[in-house]
Every structure is written in C-alpha cells, then in structure tokens.
Amino acid sequence: MRVEALMVALLIGGCTGSGEDTNRSGFPPADRPVSDIISSQFSDEETRDRLNEAETVMDMADIEEGMTVADIGAGNGYYTVRLARRVGDSGRVLAEDVIAETRDRLAERVTRERLDNVSVRLGEFADPKLPENSFDRIFMVHMYHEIESPYEFLWNMRPSLRPEGLVVVVDADRPTNRHGTPPDLLRCEFEAVGYHLVAFREMPDAGGYFSMFAARGERPEPQSIEACGQD
C-alpha cells in the first residue's frame, strides 16, 4: 500500500515538499562559490560502467530490491536506470532534475526503456519537493556543488527520509567553483542542518569520494543555522 500511495503522489505531482511555509530569508546563504550547471552528465555511461561505478556505489549504499530511492539531479539517467533495475518491480525510483529539457529527455528514456518503476519530475533549486517519509535512500551524484542554497535545500529534503533513510553523496574533492565539494565542507553543511556522517570512502574511479548521511535529532530552525566557510 505504501508503494501505491507514493506512486499516486508522484504521478499527480501533488506533493509540495515540507518547505512550503518556510521563510526563505531565514536561511544563511552559501559562504562559498557555486558551480554552474554545464552538463546533464558527469561522464559517458560506457566509461562509467567499465569502472563499475554505479554497481560499486549501489553496493556501498546497500541498495536492495523493494527500496524506494530518489535520484536528485538525475541528468541523463545514468543512476536512474541502474537503480530501477536494482530495486526491481517491488521498488520505486523518483528521478528529478531542475532543468525542464533534461527532465523531458529523461522521461523519454524511461518510457523507451520501459522502466515502469520510475517516475520523473521537475524539482526546484532550493527545494526538491519530495513527499515526506518516503525514501530509503536519496542519491546526489556529482551535483551537490551546483546547489545555490544548500542549507535551505537540505532542510527541505530532510523530512522525505524514512526513519532509517540515508542520503548518498558522490562528488569530487576540489573547490566548489571547480565542480567538486571538499569533504570537510560537505560534512559541515550537512551537520549544520542536522545530518550525521555515517560512511565515507575515497572513490577515484567515480571521480572523487562516496559519503552517506543520516538525519539525527530535530531539524534546526532556519535562523539558527550557521554557514560553513570554504578554505
């Protein structure tokens, strides 16, 4: 029943996210540069598969059949299609992007490849608009450095995790204006919004590192969040 209810919510687009009543001016701005979105994919899929990137990341994230997973900044769908196969018919994947043309191309791919367990939707730059208490995992792969309002985004995203849900981030270890996020900065920004780092591993074959976060305690008030600086 929970899967059917989630699919109805996703397909009708009725979930407005938990940040609807948020006073956006209450969030601190990012105290570091933000990379422009220059491509809908990090690298070509054949190269990534030769390096076994997706399988390795999904193994480390403990992706299992029947899970519900969000792929934020899905781009051309490299992770979306592989997550769909891993979670199987009893699982669900929500693929999201903030660029309408990218979202449309991905929707065409999902239809063409008959991925019936995948829904595709358009997100917002400061709010992924995810349904609450719905996801076992949220994937953010090579896109975190493009988020203009990270504290607001993470704050709005938090309620969408199930009690044991985790956020998976893969990024490069370099400054945010060079299409990466230093691990210490990533950890600081997540912790500022009430997340706790539960796993970290260097992943040169995936272009950087793998990290995983869990929500801990109460979500802080936006005005109490302190911005992290980038050295």
Return per-residue pLDDT of the chain as tens, 231 residues.
444 444 434 443 444 344 444 445 599 999 888 887 665 455 689 999 999 999 999 999 999 999 999 999 999 999 999 999 999 999 999 999 999 999 999 999 999 999 999 999 999 999 999 999 999 999 999 999 999 999 999 999 999 999 999 999 999 999 998 889 999 999 999 999 999 999 999 998 777 999 999 999 999 999 999 999 766
Residue 172: the pLDDT is 94
pTM recorded for the entire structure:
0.86
Give the residue from 188, 192, 199, 180 showing the smallest Cα distance to 217: 192
The CA distance from 182 to 186, in Å, is: 6
Residue 44: the pLDDT is 85
Residue 114: the pLDDT is 97
